[in-house]
Amino acid sequence: MEDKKFIVGLLNAHATSLVHFVNQQSPDEFIKSINGKWSVGQNLDHLIRSLSPVNQALLLPSFVLRMMFGKPNRTGRNYQELVDRYHQKLSAGGRATGQFIPPAILWEQKESKVADFNRQRDRMIKRLESWSEDQLDQYLLPHPLLGKITLREMLFFSAYHIQHHLHLLKERERGTD
């Protein structure tokens, strides 16, 4: 199973790539929604909205997570298995809902959104330090599409989710979405 070092590496690499992409966008590119798809700014805001609750959960005592979400009844998935499951759910029509849907994001918000995104990534990495490798597989969190997944799986998802949205934005930029 991929370890905490692997997760931190993915979070840093994917976040750095996303921020680089965002910083290359013109004001028009940053705010433009194409064919009903989210703008670059909205994608960034969606990722902030997705990382924030995971960061909040990582601060909770483990007994609270156990009381709220129970304990795993299966072996945790590895990174690729989690990514494959997420793609299955998307293929079946899964989409962001509720608190994860971003409002319109203005160009003037770009710097603060990039800073907030980087803060969320940094918090996740810092908070991950307080959890042992074993604990990552012993506690659950709810995911809107994937159901209850282990902390490790949620961290895999968080890292992959950044890459996924960057890929969507690059496809859109190439006109292949």
pLDDT tens digits, one per residue of 65-75 = 999 999 999 99
Q: Sign of the C-alpha dihedral, residues 79, 138, 131, 64? A: positive
Q: Does residue 176 carry a pLDDT above 80?
A: no
Put simply, whether the predicted model's pTM sits higher than 0.75 gets the answer yes
CA 44 from centre of chain = 10
pLDDT at site 33: 92
Output phi, psi for 93, to 5 deg: 105, 5
CA distance 121 to 127: 10
For residue 129, the domain's CATH number is: 1.20.120.450
The domain tally of the chain equals 1
Tens of pLDDT, residue by residue over 117-170, are 999 999 999 999 999 999 999 999 999 999 999 999 999 999 999 999 999 999
8 Å CB contact between 65 and 140? yes
| pLDDT of 108 above 90 | yes
State the Cα–Cα distance between residues 81 and 79, nearest whole angstrom: 6
User: Domain range holding 57?
Assistant: 4-174
Nearest to 83 by CA among 3, 162, 22: 162
The dihedral through the CA atoms of 7, 88, 33, 46 has a sign that is negative
- What is the spatial distance between Cα 116 and Cα 127, in angstroms, rounded to a whole number? 16
